[in-house]
């Protein structure tokens, strides 16, 4: 499980660094204008939205505490896959097996 913690931590760091680099190189509004003008960018956003909806459903199933699940889902809506990686990072620190990481506890 230590490998999962390391991988999630590295991916989260890489993702946050990419966000920082994008923020420095182009204003957010200009980036959104470019995305919305390209049909393939809209397809990618739809793909992201479908994936995040799936992750939100998975979080709702595996997170037994309702307020925690709602908090993670709100974070997911605001932060995207940065929240997915943070959720996996937190969960992998408590899990002893991949089954405990990805399936609800009984």
Long-range contacts at 76-79 (CB < 8 A, ≥ 24 apart): 76/52, 77/52
What pLDDT does 38 receive? Answer: 93
How confident is the model over 89-102, as a mean pLDDT?
91
Are the CB atoms for 83 and 71 separated by under 8 Å? no
Domain boundaries, the chain: 2-102
Rounded Cα distance between 84 and 76, Å, is: 7
Q: Which helix (H) or strand (E) holds 106?
A: none
Cα-to-chain-centroid distance, residue 8: 10
pTM: 0.83
Render pLDDT for 31-74 as a digit per residue (tens, 0 to 9).
Answer: 889 889 999 999 999 999 999 999 999 999 999 899 999 999 99
């Amino acid at each position: 499980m230590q490998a999962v913690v390391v991988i999630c931590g590295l991916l989260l760091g890489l993702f946050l660094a990419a966000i920082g680099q994008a923020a420095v190189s182009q204003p957010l509004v200009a980036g959104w204008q470019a995305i919305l003008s390209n049909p393939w960018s809209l397809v990618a956003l739809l793909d992201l939205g479908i994936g995040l909806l799936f992750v939100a459903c998975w979080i709702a199933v595996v997170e037994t505490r309702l307020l925690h699940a709602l908090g993670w889902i709100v974070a997911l809506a605001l932060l995207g896959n940065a929240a997915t990686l943070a959720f996996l990072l937190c969960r992998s620190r408590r899990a002893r097996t991949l089954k405990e990481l990805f399936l609800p506890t009984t």
